[in-house]
Amino acid sequence: MVNSKHGFTILRVLKENYHLFDDLVYYRMNGKERTTAEKEVSKDGDYSIAYRELDYENFYVYAACLDDKFVAWISIIYIPKIGKGIGGIIYVDELYTRPDYRNRGIAYELLQKVKEHYEQRKAYLIRLYVGDDNRSAQHVYQKIGLEDKGVCRCMESRIR
C-alpha cells in the first residue's frame, strides 16, 4: 500500500526484506544507521531464528518504507480466546517510528493494519500497552478509536 500523500509504502516484513527490518532495529538500538558496507553484510546475515518467528501463522510485522529503507514498524499477533464465544484479541506488541520520521502519519497508517486484522479475524478487542508518559503515542491510539482503560502493571521475566 502506497500512501501517496506522504510517499511511504507499508510492507509486510518477510524473509526477502528482513535485512531492511534488521537495519531499522540496528538504528533503534544504536541511534545511527549502518554504513553502506554494513548494510551489504546484513543482507547475508543469519536470520534463521527471525525467519522461524515470521512464519508463525498469527504473527505479523509491517514496516513503513521510505527513501529505500524501513523507517517504522508494527508487530501484531492474533490471540484466540476460548470459552466466551466472542472471538480473539489483536494484540499490538510494538510500534516504533524513527524520531526523524515521526509526525508524518506513518504510525497512523501502520495502525490501519491492526484494524484490518481486527475485521478479518472478527476479533472482539484490540489491545496494547503504552507508557503512561508516552502522550504522543496515546494520542495516535485514541485517533484510531482505542480508549484509555487505566494504568496496569507490566511484569516480565527472561526465563531460560
pLDDT in tens, 39-97: 999 888 899 999 999 999 999 999 999 988 999 999 999 999 888 778 899 999 999 99
DSSP-derived pairing of the beta strands 89-97 and 125-128: parallel
pLDDT tens for 121-156 read 989 999 999 988 889 899 999 998 999 888 888 888
Q: What is the pTM of this model?
A: 0.89
Residue 103, CB half-sphere, CA atoms under 13 Å: how many? 3
Q: Any idea what DSSP says for residue 7?
A: T
Q: How far apart are CA 34 and CA 77, in angstroms?
A: 29
For residue 2 the three cell numbers come to 502506497
Instruction: Assign domain 2-143 one CATH number from 3.50.50.60, 2.40.420.20, 3.40.50.1000, 3.40.630.30.
Output: 3.40.630.30
At 156 the pLDDT is 86
Q: Where are the domains of the chain?
A: 2-143
